A and B are shown apart, each in its own frame.
Chain A
């Protein structure tokens, strides 16, 4: 039904009977607004919209110095070696992708001249290739012209295993060829509904100059002088870099966008902690912008009173979740615990999983911990908006959970802990060391105790918990616990990568050195089928349906208990007008930032 309606609406937009805004509003009405709404139109044969223009200054420069505070300072300036988003953020001041994402998840052109669509012939209708037209007349900071050769080179550079880039995953399966000086064609090995990963956004898309890196491809990559002194096409020219401490840049007078950038110079200072960064921006005004201000809301509200700055929020798809282990973490089989040959003794009863989801008090977690930076949710997939399921609900009720357990035969023992067939409801709940996470653990533990479930809390240093160290038992992929909590950032406005992780093909186990991404070790044939179908599906509406179904399956089986849909929190001076997208790095739209007089 939805399918048909959408199709006729796309037809209306194409035929000019309905304008784009009305189309997006209609989609919102049926619960389908958002980032990929425009990709729907692109695939439906209507060109993708340029992101909304909010930029006001009418001349280049004149905005003075822009002072940014990144409490984890960038440690290197080659985006393809980035060990974290901080390095991508720093590199993005100088390097640019073909396009980036605006706050609504729309594509905004940077080095590309035209948004690919089926209608303009740049996007293959079967989704196997995309052609990008490049903006003419763009120059690198050293005056050399930017061309298709640089784009092709970036692909060659990143996909070479000897170069050891962290973006190899994006590029290794593609084929990129130069059509002419200002045209490149990307061919995918299979239909790729989300074609805007390579060369788009700050994460993997930043394009390197061939003339600076051509001699440093492969094992010589570490010797490239440009690793530390980037020559890009961006709004600011590189001046100075001290790893972990400082990046400085000055305005690029030949920048390819009119009237941009607004600031005459830029400075990114690193070090310290989030709270004092918030103080330096909001309270004393020493800095214009503070990155990733994950500070308790009480503190922020206090700082904002009569301060010189404010906090700003950007909605993306980051979900803090509690994952349930479907295998037994306490039995060792063939040298591994949580082996696929076992079943979790308690969670194999769906009632226990269901009861547990009723014991996570999301309202209290929001009130006590995340404040304005969180939204309660029943879904694992919380964005882009049109992929968010409306079929799910959540509630917090100790009584109902107790009743559910009673009915399932889990009766309280002498010590008040429920048991059945000699198995006690005792759980180990692990997460990384991080203030909000420990508080969430405490809230969940308290409710569980009241319902007769004994929860033991464990917290692991983040550098261990998230490491790929095969020898360490405390990493999240090993999951030697009953419950674990963290979040996996949704780094692009598309759920494909995010949802594919829980396909039964990718189970984390000893045989793949725990490199599998399905750490709950949950197996569901319907889910696998939906993922496989969605990966090939070019029809945007059916694709939405598949991912909504996947989310609902995760919810029905209680694989994840979503604790909070987290928003990005930044601090900005009152006069600064930053453009922050929940779908991109903080500096991805830096060319559109300005200061209101």
Chain B
């Protein structure tokens, strides 16, 4: 087992290197530069712009810039944002809590809806409940989040005036008031993301359950005279959840990566909005760091998913 993990980690190194080369080259070849807004500012003479480009090394050849970046990354230096003139790691750490809170809650909400609904629908396939659940799931994952987000804002903020649609990180008040405010402002983004996730996950849980529920050992369990609840929870779910767990593990990087669209709509200062604003302002060090960290997380959680597989299902052996 430990040998397996070690080997996987060794394989991860070259693949991460490859990812970083591709990312870096694509970003370096992308047109535009971080000082474009200065170009139309008559106060900034072109020579000053050229000096800035030189100072931030934008005129060096790509391979040199890549080696600089790699060397710095190996020393734990994530780079220096052109636009904020601060270290990229501080910038990312500042954005992480909001993303973890909102996207994490959305994932939990999705699970809380998807598992019971999916399981119940699978126990009574093609019943009225199953039909309704299916229809809703289809509608759910067909509607893009930017649409539902705007719809929620129009209904709950503008028309009903119940919820704020601008997410604030510095809520005034302490104790219980602070907690309540935090929950109140997260309701809409969490609902938008959570319902979207829940829709596709419900379908997944349902089909995983249906696969297992027809197997012989389930019939045996029933024949032994076990109650329906016990059969479903102890016998069916345990096995049906194996692919679901993998799916959740693979979703975990997204919890750290943020949700670009939703964060933008609700002004949540998360990783997703940092990424999009950095891309728009051509702040390559930040884009590079965020995407690379994301790549690392994907590799890591893939490994975790594989390990979990072996633990959940002893028939699978890892070598």
Instruction: Report A's interface with B, CB cutoff 8 A.
Output: 69, 72, 75-76, 78, 81, 83-84, 161, 164, 166-170, 203-204, 222, 227-228, 240, 242-246, 248, 267, 269-273, 276, 279-280, 283-284, 286-287, 461-469, 472, 474-477, 486-491, 497-498, 501, 512-513, 515-517
Give chain B nearest CB distance to A199 CB in angstroms. 13
Inter-subunit contact B43/A75 (CB<8 Å): no
Name 18 interchain pairs, CB-CB below 8 A, sorted by A: A167-B43, A169-B45, A244-B84, A267-B170, A269-B166, A284-B158, A284-B161, A287-B166, A463-B32, A463-B36, A464-B31, A464-B32, A466-B37, A469-B33, A486-B40, A489-B41, A501-B42, A517-B42
* Distance between Cα atoms of A491 and B274 in the complex (Å): 29
Inter-subunit contact B170/A164 (CB<8 Å): no
Using Cβ atoms and an 8 Å threshold, which residues of chain A touch B37?
A: 83-84, 466
The 4 A-B pairs of least Cβ separation, nearest first, read A515-B46, A245-B269, A463-B32, A467-B36
Q: Which of B88-124 contact A (CB under 8 A)?
A: 91, 94-95
Candidates A75, A280, A472, A497; contact of B165 at CB < 8 Å: A280
Q: Count B-side interface residues using an 8 Å CB cutoff.
A: 55
Using Cβ atoms and an 8 Å threshold, which residues of chain A touch B168?
A: 246, 269
* Distance between Cα atoms of A472 and B28 in the complex (Å): 13
* Distance between Cα atoms of A463 and B284 in the complex (Å): 13
- B25 in contact (CB, < 8 A): no
Give chain A nearest CB distance to B154 CB in angstroms. 9
- Given A243-B91, A286-B165, A489 contacting B85 (CB threshold 8 A): no
Inter-subunit contact B33/A75 (CB<8 Å): no
Q: Identify whether the interface residues of A are mostly helix, strand, loop, or mixed.
A: loop
Inter-subunit contact B84/A243 (CB<8 Å): yes
Determine the residue in chain B with the shortest Cβ distance to A162. Answer: B55
- B38 in contact (CB, < 8 A): yes
B281-301 interface mask toward A, CB cutoff 8 Å, 1 = contact, 0 = none?
110000000000000000000
Using Cβ atoms and an 8 Å threshold, which residues of chain B touch A474?
A: 31
B132-154 interface mask toward A, CB cutoff 8 Å, 1 = contact, 0 = none?
00000000000000000000010
* Distance between Cα atoms of A443 and B40 in the complex (Å): 25
- B39 in contact (CB, < 8 A): yes
Inter-subunit contact A244/B158 (CB<8 Å): no
* Distance between Cα atoms of A197 and B274 in the complex (Å): 34
Give chain B nearest CB distance to A61 CB in angstroms. 17
* Distance between Cα atoms of A491 and B38 in the complex (Å): 12
Interface centre among A78, A243, A269, A517 (most CB of B within 10 A): A243
Using Cβ atoms and an 8 Å threshold, which residues of chain B touch A167?
A: 43-44
Inter-subunit contact B31/A467 (CB<8 Å): yes
Candidates A83, A204, A498; contact of B83 at CB < 8 Å: A83
- B304 in contact (CB, < 8 A): no
- Given A244-B273, A246-B170, A467 contacting B33 (CB threshold 8 A): yes
* Distance between Cα atoms of A575 and B110 in the complex (Å): 42
* Distance between Cα atoms of A248 and B213 in the complex (Å): 57
Using Cβ atoms and an 8 Å threshold, which residues of chain B touch A489?
A: 40-42
Inter-subunit contact B267/A271 (CB<8 Å): yes
* Distance between Cα atoms of A49 and B274 in the complex (Å): 45
- Given A166-B48, A467-B36, A488-B42, A75 contacting B264 (CB threshold 8 A): no
- B80 in contact (CB, < 8 A): yes
- B317 in contact (CB, < 8 A): no
Using Cβ atoms and an 8 Å threshold, which residues of chain B touch A287?
A: 166
- B169 in contact (CB, < 8 A): yes
Inter-subunit contact A466/B44 (CB<8 Å): no
* Distance between Cα atoms of A190 and B299 in the complex (Å): 63
Inter-subunit contact B269/A467 (CB<8 Å): no
B197-227 interface mask toward A, CB cutoff 8 Å, 1 = contact, 0 = none?
0000000000000000000000000000000
Inter-subunit contact B157/A462 (CB<8 Å): no
* Distance between Cα atoms of A81 and B38 in the complex (Å): 11
Instruction: Report B's interface with A, CB cutoff 8 A.
Output: 31-53, 55, 80-86, 91, 94-95, 153, 157-158, 161, 164-166, 168-170, 264-265, 267-269, 273-274, 277, 280-282
Inter-subunit contact A81/B85 (CB<8 Å): yes
Using Cβ atoms and an 8 Å threshold, which residues of chain A touch B95?
A: 245
Inter-subunit contact B269/A466 (CB<8 Å): no
Give chain B nearest CB distance to A89 CB in angstroms. 13
* Distance between Cα atoms of A464 and B35 in the complex (Å): 10
Give chain B nearest CB distance to A114 CB in angstroms. 25
Using Cβ atoms and an 8 Å threshold, which residues of chain B touch A475?
A: 39
* Distance between Cα atoms of A489 and B40 in the complex (Å): 7
Using Cβ atoms and an 8 Å threshold, which residues of chain A touch B41?
A: 166, 489, 491
Inter-subunit contact A461/B50 (CB<8 Å): no
* Distance between Cα atoms of A168 and B165 in the complex (Å): 40
6 further A-B pairs in the complex, CB-CB below 8 A; given A461-B32, A466-B39: A75-B83, A83-B34, A169-B48, A469-B33, A472-B32, A498-B42
Inter-subunit contact B86/A228 (CB<8 Å): yes
* Distance between Cα atoms of A94 and B133 in the complex (Å): 55
* Distance between Cα atoms of A465 and B40 in the complex (Å): 10
Give chain A nearest CB distance to B94 CB in angstroms. 5
Inter-subunit contact A242/B86 (CB<8 Å): no
- Given A166-B52, A463-B32, A69 contacting B166 (CB threshold 8 A): yes
Determine the residue in chain A with the shortest Cβ distance to B51. Answer: A161
Inter-subunit contact A222/B80 (CB<8 Å): yes
Determine the residue in chain A with the shortest Cβ distance to B58. Answer: A469
Interface centre among A271, A477, A491, A501 (most CB of B within 10 A): A271
* Distance between Cα atoms of A67 and B40 in the complex (Å): 29
Inter-subunit contact B85/A76 (CB<8 Å): yes
* Distance between Cα atoms of A120 and B144 in the complex (Å): 66
- Given A267-B170, A286-B166, A472 contacting B31 (CB threshold 8 A): yes
Inter-subunit contact B36/A462 (CB<8 Å): yes
Using Cβ atoms and an 8 Å threshold, which residues of chain A touch B280?
A: 463
Inter-subunit contact B32/A284 (CB<8 Å): no
Interface centre among B47, B51, B91, B267 (most CB of A within 10 A): B267
* Distance between Cα atoms of A269 and B268 in the complex (Å): 11
* Distance between Cα atoms of A239 and B24 in the complex (Å): 36
* Distance between Cα atoms of A315 and B58 in the complex (Å): 38
* Distance between Cα atoms of A310 and B50 in the complex (Å): 42
Using Cβ atoms and an 8 Å threshold, which residues of chain B touch A69?
A: 166
Inter-subunit contact B91/A284 (CB<8 Å): no
Interface centre among B31, B169, B281 (most CB of A within 10 A): B31
Give chain B nearest CB distance to A576 CB in angstroms. 17
Inter-subunit contact A246/B269 (CB<8 Å): yes
Using Cβ atoms and an 8 Å threshold, which residues of chain A touch B268?
A: 271
Inter-subunit contact A248/B43 (CB<8 Å): no
* Distance between Cα atoms of A206 and B81 in the complex (Å): 23
Inter-subunit contact B166/A242 (CB<8 Å): no
Give chain B nearest CB distance to A229 CB in angstroms. 11
* Distance between Cα atoms of A172 and B157 in the complex (Å): 51
* Distance between Cα atoms of A301 and B38 in the complex (Å): 33
Using Cβ atoms and an 8 Å threshold, which residues of chain B touch A75?
A: 81, 83-84, 277, 281
